[in-house]
Amino acid sequence: MLVQQYTSYPVSTELEARTDFFEFPDVTICSTNYLSVTYGYDPVPSPVAVPGRARGLVDMIYDVSRFFHLLNQTDMNASVPVNPYSSYRHGKLALNKIAYRSKQLPDPYEIVLLCRFNSIPCSYLNFTIYKDDELFKCMTFAPLNNTVVRAGPGNGLYLLMYTYSSSFFTDEEEIDDIPGMKVVLHPRGVKPNMNGPHVMSPLKYKTEAVIDTSIQEKVDRSSYRCLESLPNATYITDYSQLTGPENETFRGSTEDCRVRIMQQEYLDTCGCLATHLPKPADLYYMAQPGVCHDINEHVLFRDIFYRRPTSSYTYYTIRNDSWYKYPLMDYVATNYDMYNGTIARLDCYQRVLDRQNREGVDTHGCPVLCRVKSHEVMPRYYHWPNSVKYSGKAVSNLATEALNEAKARGLDVRGLKDLVSNYESRVKYYAGVLDLYPRDLIVQMSIESWAYPLRNFFSDLGGILGLWIGASIVTLVEILELAMYGALLVHKKLADRKRNQVIVIKPQEQQQEEKPPGYNHSELETDQQMPEPKVEL
The answer as to whether 494 is a domain residue is no
Q: How far is Cα 417 from Cα 400, in angstroms, rounded to an integer?
A: 8
* Contact indicator for 127, 108 with CB cutoff of 8 Å: yes
Structure confidence by residue, pLDDT tens digits, 495-515: 888 777 655 555 555 444 555
More confidently predicted of 276 and 518: 276
Same domain, 396 and 438: yes
Q: Write down the pLDDT at residue 534.
A: 55
User: Which CATH number goes with the domain that contains 306?
Assistant: 2.60.470.10
Asked whether residue 244 is domain-assigned, the answer is: no
Q: Indicate the range of 23-27, 174-178, 239-243, 451-455 predicted with least confidence.
A: 451-455
Residue 412 to residue 16: CA distance in whole angstroms? 51
Which residue type is seen at 377?
V
- Whether residues 465 and 442 share a domain: the answer is no
- pLDDT tens sequence across 36-79: 888 888 899 999 998 888 889 988 988 999 999 999 888 878 88
**Residue 380 lies in domain:** 14-222+298-339+369-446
Model pTM?
Answer: 0.82
In a shared domain, residues 465 and 431:
no
Contacts (Cβ under 8 Å, ≥6 apart) of 289:
272
One-letter amino acid at 40 equals G
**400/29 Cα distance (integer angstroms):** 23
Residue 482 lies in a domain: yes
Least confident stretch, 391-395, 430-434, 464-468 = 464-468
3-class secondary structure, 270:
helix
* Distance (Å, whole) CA 426 – CA 418: 9
Counted domains in the chain: 2
